Chains A and B, each alone.
Chain A
Amino acid sequence: MPKELSLTEIMEILEEYKVVTLEDVTIEGDVEIELGTAISPVMIQALLQQLQSAKELREKELELVDARFEVSKAEWNGKIEEVTIGATAADGGTRSNTVTIGGEKALPFYNFDNPMPNPPVISVDCFDMPIPLAKAVRVHYQDVMEDPGEWAKKNVREFGADMVTIHLISTDPMIKDTPAREAAKTVEEVLQAVKVPIVIGGSGNPDKDPVVLEAAAEAAAGERCLIASANLNMDYERIAKAAKANGHVVLSWTQLDINAQKTLNRYLFKLGTPREDIVIDPTTAALGYGLDYAFTNIERMRISALKGDSDLAFPISCGVTNAWGAREAWMKNSPIKEDSDWGPAAYRGPLYEIITGLTLAIAGGDMFMMMHPEASAAVKKITQTLFGAITEGDNLNAEDWVTWKA
């Protein structure tokens, strides 16, 4: 039996074959075709069949256009400095391994332009005193908050930290005003507790930090720590000199300002800080709270560096723990009455940290200071995947998601 044709199909066929009129054929109702006398039902049936098979034949003949996909390769002049943090016994330190970041000649994970030499690394935060933390983070640390050494150990043993950051926050005169000498002891404690390279952070007090970080740098001489940080509104010279005298790397920190970053870096060059001893921190803002500025600031710096601006050609560190400043990361319910339900804060917080970190990894971040163990593990896994270190994939048929059953 021949295929039934709808009225539209008949009209389309007629139109396609430029049949302007079918004489003596009138069309009524739905698809009733009443035939006149000049043309017999058999004839029109035959005609339509012929047209239909011609159409089918033509579609079968339609073949894919032959073509190839071509794309240009990005050619950059610049190269990001390669910076090593930590020193083993061979280099006068006591670390069991070192961590190397930077060295890129292309945008992050653009391995087809130029293979990324070093994967991003994660440094997990600890503090020299118990601090207020979002509940989802606190549960992981409440047993070690009184003891920076134990805290650092937990970061490495349980949470797989590549590095540990010790924040000497109690030294702030507005907090505990812990003397620099005591802070230096905390640093020694942490160096004893873990064998990974460490980052030494101050309290953020511009008057006290130079004194504290100088003492810490002396106590950690030869360990090639990252000293965090030098910035424009403090005595950065004292920090840069202490770092140089004791063989450390300096973190050059500015606030979402590309020109300020260039200025501070140039001051460090003038003070004799070797290029391979500089990491920059252009400031991390949380998802929803300025992440767009932080992303673009970092992406612009990285692109400028690759284009040849050597003032900016340094590995980038990101303080991803800042993500917890977003109220969506910790607040129980939305303060805005018209919002849809926010769901459990315990699920939101780690994801805010993850997305903040991953966004900046794509912008150009090389090193991520993080806190929530699942967040740091997730960022590590996906960046390692894009880097090319995790090659095993699941053997999937790409089309199956359409019929995947929940």
Chain B
Amino acid sequence: MKLSSPMDVWKYLPGTNCRECGEKTCLAFASLLLDRKRSLNECPLLSDPKYADKGKKLQELLAPEVREVKIGVGDNARVIGGEDVLHRHELTFFNRTALIYDVWDTMDEDDLRNRVRGIADWRKFYVGEFLKLDGIAIRAISGDPQQYRACVKSVSEETDLPLVLCSFDPEMLEVGLKEVSDRNPLLYAANESNWRELLGIAKQYRVPVTLSSADLDMLTRLALTFSQAGLEDLVLDPVTYPTGEGLKGAFERFIKLRRAAISDGNRAIAYPLLAVPMTAWMVHDDALYASYWEAMMACLFIIRYADIMIMHSIEPHALITERTLVDNIYTDPRRPVSVEPGIREIGNPNPESPLFVTTNFALTYYTVESDIASNKIDSYLMVVDTEGLGVEAAVAGGQLTADMIKDTLETYEADKRVKHKTMVIPGLAARISGETEDVTGWTVLVGPRDSGRIPGWMEDNWPPEKAAGNI
């Protein structure tokens, strides 16, 4: 976006402080607009003819450097692109990389439907929410339009996820499109030889289209040609080679395209970028190694600027790492690192319930909290202010000490919550257990090294008499 301070934004707002948007002042609203936490249509006055000109101008100035493109429809639709910075610490990245997994039209019908369901139903709990995958790429490899159409039909019956129709043959894409023209699928792809037909199809069906070329001059020409024909829902594929100079070159093309869009204000190529890590499968025969190489390519392009990527492996190890990395890179770095210290109630604890000790690093806290809650263990969770560090780092760095635990026990009056004067410290903090007993006068039990093992640990160690009996 072209504006950098709340005052710059404020100049274009009505300045009446009418509070219709819910903020106390126009300046407060301006600041949230800048952070993209609120949107312009939440200011009702801007639709007034009196302010319409300013509103329109502001809309332009607030537009992200990279155009946003929507794929799919309804709740599952994904918006990609819309980025404003080259490095996440400069603000944040906004629309996480869409992870799309492939199917193909020569698959057996049952295999096809199972694979689609596997992709659509996949989930992994992470920091308070379930991570999911973003869509299905349907590859035309049979060469038979009717077979491709049948495949597209089966996939669309099986899932509402966004779809990418993949072929360089315009006839194939059009026949597939007829089946899902109401689903706003992404077309892959127009290139130097088929672009006229693809331009016609994209225009007729009003769907987003990918432009593909490893030659950035050609890619620019394609993008300009399509946009001058009135097509703005474009995605650029600078071609992802899997090895050697090819991969090195691909990595550099992604960086050059995004730098040109964001630093140089080059509007001609300011569109979302598409990577194809699945090319790894064309060069590696060993399936495990191919899935590793594909995940490594995904890693390169999640970090360096792919907004959507197409992959092949749906093995759990690949999905967990790829999707977690997307979350890590796209997490808003302005989000606090730590949670408030204190004593939290999990479930319905009573004075006989265990008191677990953890740190105030948000990730640690949410992991422990979900492990205890998901296994329905009524308990207290005491959060020590470790300056946002996790257990291992805080023990090594002196932020989780016997004295800190004592202070927290006293400040939050732990002795009024539980009668047993027993605490369970993380296994990774075992080395401070003795000192903590000395300093606090409480009994200290050393819990498991991973909170995922608390349920099993409870069976052997709680109530404390059980642990004593074991000794």
Contact = CB atoms under 8 A, between A and B. Distances in A.
Interface of A: 59-60, 62-72, 74, 109-112, 174, 204, 206, 233, 255-256, 283, 285, 287-293, 295-296, 299-300, 303, 325, 327-328, 331, 334-344, 347-348, 350-352, 354-355, 358-359, 362-363, 374, 378, 382, 385-386, 388, 390-394, 396, 398-406
Nearest to A340: B122
Chain B CB within 10 Å, residue with most, of A60, A63, A204, A382: A382
A355 B269 contact: no
B256 A112 contact: yes
A201 to B, nearest CB: 13
Contacts of B279: 396, 398, 401
A354 B296 contact: yes
Interface in B92-147: 104, 106, 121-126, 130, 139-141
B371 A335 contact: yes
A119 to B, nearest CB: 12
Given A69-B269, A358-B300, A391 B244 contact: yes
B276 A359 contact: no
A405 B389 CA distance: 47
Interface stretch (B33-41, B259-267, B438-446, B463-471): B259-267
B453 interface: yes
Nearest to B258: A71
A335 B168 contact: no
Given A69-B219, A340-B123, A382-B296, A290 B361 contact: yes
Given A68-B220, A359-B303, A348 B276 contact: no
A299 B317 contact: no
A128 B177 CA distance: 63
B49 interface: no
Nearest to B391: A325
Contacts of A68: 217, 220
A359 B224 contact: no
A327 B367 CA distance: 11
Given A71-B260, A351-B317, A403 B248 contact: no
- Main secondary structure on B side of the interface with A: helix
B239 A398 contact: yes
B125 A339 contact: yes
A341 B316 contact: yes
Nearest to A173: B431
B112 to A, nearest CB: 12
A342 B390 contact: no
A69 B218 CA distance: 8
Interface string B372-399: 0011000000000000011011001110
B242 A351 contact: no
Interface in B309-363: 312, 315-321, 324-325, 327-329, 331, 333, 337, 361, 363
Contacts of A391: 244-245
Contacts of B327: 288
B200 A59 contact: yes
A204 to B, nearest CB: 6
Contacts, number: 257
5 contacts: A109-B251, A292-B88, A336-B374, A358-B299, A359-B299
Interface in B242-287: 242-248, 251-252, 255-257, 259-260, 263-264, 266, 268-269, 276, 278-279, 281-283
Contacts of A69: 216-217, 219-220, 256, 260, 269
A354 B292 contact: yes
Contacts of A336: 125, 370-371, 374
B56 interface: no
A362 B300 contact: yes
- Top 3 nearest A-B pairs (CB, nearest first) are A393-B244, A343-B316, A335-B452
Nearest to A343: B316
A69 B270 CA distance: 12
A59 B196 contact: yes
Contact of A288 (B126, B140, B299): B126
A59 B170 CA distance: 15
Contacts of A393: 241, 243-247
B59 interface: no
B410 interface: no
B370 to A, nearest CB: 7
Contact of B244 (A74, A109, A293, A385): A385
Given A288-B126, A344-B317, A355-B325, A335 B453 contact: yes
A40 B179 CA distance: 37
Nearest to B298: A355
Contacts of A341: 316
Nearest to A12: B204
A111 B252 contact: yes
Nearest to A299: B87
B254 to A, nearest CB: 11
Interface in B203-247: 212, 214, 216-217, 219-222, 224-225, 228-229, 239, 241-247
Contacts of A396: 241-242, 246, 279, 282-283
Contacts of A340: 121-124, 316, 319
A308 to B, nearest CB: 17
A280 to B, nearest CB: 16
Nearest to A349: B317
Contacts of A293: 337
B375 A335 contact: yes
Given A71-B264, A351-B292, A404-B281, A287 B321 contact: yes
A343 B317 contact: yes
B125 A405 contact: no
Contacts of B316: 340-343, 347-348
A398 B300 CA distance: 18
A187 to B, nearest CB: 22
A391 B312 CA distance: 25
Given A109-B251, A290-B363, A362-B304, A400 B282 contact: yes
A354 B295 contact: yes
Nearest to B302: A359
B376 to A, nearest CB: 10
A65 B242 CA distance: 30
Contacts of A110: 252, 255
